[in-house]
Amino acid sequence: MTDALWPAVIVLVLAGIVAGLALAKPMLARMATRNLLRRKGRVAIAVLGLLVGTAIISSSLVVGDTLNHIFVQNVYD
């Protein structure tokens, strides 16, 4: 349960910051919303690119930890 708590708190804090910025500068928020609605394809490409980049970094960290564990366990054996 606590493993999922920190990412949820971070997402909520970031959402609060974005909401605060939107309230502080409503014109900028309206322009950003209009831009998102007009360019759905580019937004989708950007989001998919971020997802792929995150997946690549996460998988490289997992592979590195796995190989590190295998080699260290081999030395101990």
CB of 45 closer than 8 Å to CB of 36: no
Of 39 and 3, which is predicted with more confidence? 39
Share of residues in the chain with pLDDT > 70 (%): 97
For residue 1, pLDDT over 70 is answered with no
Instruction: Tell me if residue 1 falls in helix, strand or coil.
Output: coil
pTM for this entry:
0.59
Sorted by sequence, the CB contacts under 8 Å of residue 21 that are 6+ apart come out as 28, 29
Rg of the chain, C-alpha, whole Å:
20
Average pLDDT, stretch 61-65? 89
Q: What is the dihedral of CA 60, 9, 40, 42, to 10 degrees?
A: -40
